[in-house]
Amino acid sequence: MKKAVLFDLDNTLYDYDKPHKKALKNVYRVLKKHVKISFPRFLLLFGFAKREIHRELAGTAAAHNRILYFQRLIEKTESTVDPGLNLLLYNAYWDCLLKNMRLRPGALDVLKELKKKGLKVAIVSDLTTNIQLRKLKKLNIGKYIDVLVTSEEAGSEKPHQIMFLLALNKLRLRPHEAIMVGDNSITDIEGANSVGMDTVLLKRGILAKVSKEDYRKPNYVVKGIPGVLKILEKV
């Protein structure tokens, strides 16, 4: 019998991609008031900046910090540091993304039902704690969450085992007593499988075929968050 469910946050409990695209457009609207640049050029340089930061800070929460992406972007367009503009872009991004966040269909009902059944709920997510707390507040689901673990707190990002072990330690549970739900077969599924947890993959697109020995292979696959409840009835 499972005693807890660990959830990824971004692109699992809510759709990250749509608000992210809107947020980037909002950033561009702010940037073009200060720098002459086309939208395709902006996206290109943002992509370069993001990949550079990821390469240099791989495995850390800072690798996901948008303020570093925008700082590098400004350096590429202006060859200088502009503190005021950097902060404007950072706030433009997160204010817009948070405004447009929406829980996935059925996600709130699932969290309520888990609470009703007495199961613990943890969020295991990359990125900084401040931003993830702001997301939980915006989604208004904090009262259903017992534990939050971010890569900033853990010192490493998923799929490192420490992310999942820290959550289990906070919950005072063993791996077989919890189940992990996420949308990414590497960061969520491989990481949780490696510590002995059962895993549920939220299907997004075509699934890659993997052997049963591969840690990326989930125990279960669902098309929507409500499917998690049916799986818990089985296990």
pTM attached to this predicted model: 0.90
Average confidence (pLDDT) over 173-198: 95
pLDDT tens digit string along 52-110? 999 999 888 889 999 999 999 999 888 777 889 999 999 999 999 999 999 999 999 99
Same domain (yes/no): 83, 164: no
Query: For residues 8 and 184, what is the distance between their CA atoms, to the nearest angstrom?
Result: 9
The interaxial angle of helices 83-100 and 17-31, nearest 10 deg, is 150
Residue 212 clears pLDDT 70, i.e. is over it: no
Same domain (yes/no): 116, 230: yes
Omega of the bond leading into 175 within 30 degrees of 0 (cis): no
17 is catalytic: no
Same domain (yes/no): 111, 215: yes
Residue 166 clears pLDDT 80, i.e. is over it: yes
Confidence of residue 1 (pLDDT cuts 50, 70, 90): confident
Same domain (yes/no): 125, 10: yes
- What range defines the domain where residue 92 resides? 17-100
Q: What is the pLDDT of residue 203?
A: 85
Same domain (yes/no): 30, 107: no
Same domain (yes/no): 62, 30: yes
The region of weakest confidence among 25-34, 56-65, 114-123, 212-221 is: 212-221
CATH number at residue 137: 3.40.50.1000
Same domain (yes/no): 114, 222: yes
Confidence of residue 231 (pLDDT cuts 50, 70, 90): very high
Q: What is the pLDDT of residue 207?
A: 57
Number of domains in the chain: 2
Amino acid at 26: N
Among 41, 68, 100, the domain boundary falls at: 100
Same domain (yes/no): 130, 74: no
The residue from 10, 126, 183, 198 that is catalytic is: 10
Query: For residues 109 and 45, what is the distance between their CA atoms, to the nearest angstrom?
Result: 40
DSSP string over 37-79 = --HHHHHHHHHHHHHHHHHHTTTSGGGG-HHHHHHHHHHHHHS
Task: Give, in order, the Cα–Cα distances in Å from 164 to each of 31, 83, 102, 159, 233.
Answer: 38, 36, 25, 9, 23
The residue from 8, 126, 183, 198 that is catalytic is: 8
10 is catalytic: yes
Among 100, 121, 136, the domain boundary falls at: 100
